[in-house]
Amino acid sequence: MDGLRFDGRKRNQLRDIRFSRNYISTCPGSVLVEMGRTRVLCTATVEDRVPPHVKGTGKGWVTAEYAMLPRSSAQRVVRERSTLKTGGRTHEIQRLIGRSLRAVTDLKALGEVSVIVDCDVIEADGGTRTASINGAFVALVDALAADGRWQGGRLPVKDWLAAVSCGIVAGMTVVDLAYAEDSMADVDMNMVMTGSGGIVELQGTAEGEPFTKEGYDLMIDMAEEAVGKIVKEQRTALGEELSGRIGAI
């Protein structure tokens, strides 16, 4: 119960997290997020058109695409264009990222505009989907701030957003699993929360034995604390001025 994790972290300890903004010179909303060795390049693009199901509603839309570079993983990942199919895992992750971002975006204030966030994994050491959400949020804020529409004023972003993984590994409940832990976890949970503590998405899967409600409660508490820390890092990365333009009216 008191042992350290394989990399010396405590059970509730996150890996080092870093946001490098303006990573690509021609893309204002481009962020390289790092959580330990997991690195994801997140870029947000504002486009002046919306998908058909939104057209005419006066509202906007936020969507995401996710991909792994071929050598982001120790085993080379075959490009999806070669298989002529987007895999199920890819679909699941990009739908999760998109839904999560929409939950904190004020789609009405956004207007008939869409934001597409691309999350491309440079190196994958566990937690790529949660790292993607963390970086995507920062990229989204940067892209909206750079757009002429909301200059200086409140951005169409209602709340902060961060995500973290939890799991039970060798009987120990831990947060922010690295790949070495992820691959031997009995339970794998991903939690997406807002800065004010609301739950946006919550997905738990028993990889081996089914888990109990108690185990589940413990994970939620741990995730809640971790999300708070990540939001703090995002706030530091974005700086005071930009941070002040986030939040419901």
Site residues (vs a second copy, CB under 8 A): 24-27, 30, 37, 41, 43, 45, 47, 65, 67, 69-74, 76, 79-82, 84-89, 91-92, 94-95, 99, 103, 116, 118, 120, 122-123, 159, 193-194, 196-206, 209-213, 216, 220, 224
- Which of 68, 241 has the CB closer to a second copy? 68
Torsion over CA: 97, 74, 85, 50 (sign): positive
Shortest distance, position 245 Cβ to a second copy, whole Å = 20
Least Cβ distance, residue 2 to a second copy (angstroms) = 26
Q: Which amino acid makes up residue 13?
A: Q
Q: CB neighbours (10 Å) of residue 17? A: 21
Residue with tokens 């939104």: 54
Q: Is the Cβ–Cβ distance between 204 and 216 less than 8 Å? A: yes
Which residue lies nearer to a second copy by CB, 17 or 67?
67
Minimum distance between the CB of residue 67 and a second copy, rounded to whole angstroms?
7
Choose between 72 and 165: whose C-beta lies nearer to a second copy: 72
| The token pair that represents 145 in the structure block | 């701030």
Place of tokens 């929409």: 102
C-beta closer to a second copy: residue 2 or 16:
16
Q: What is the DSSP string of 106-151?
A: -HHHH-S-EEEEEEEEEE-SS-HHHHHHHHHHHHHHHHHHHSGGGT
CB 215 within 8 A of CB 173: yes
Q: Which is nearer to a second copy, 12 or 86 (CB)?
A: 86
Least distance CB 174 / a second copy (angstroms): 18
Residue 133: exposure state from Cβ atoms within 10 A (0-12, 13-18, ≥19): buried
Smallest separation, CB 213 to a second copy (Å) = 6
User: Among residues 66 and 169, whose Cβ is nearest to a second copy?
Assistant: 66
Q: How far is the CB of 53 from a second copy (least distance, A)?
A: 12
Q: Which residues contact 73 (CB under 8 A, 6 or more apart)?
A: 124
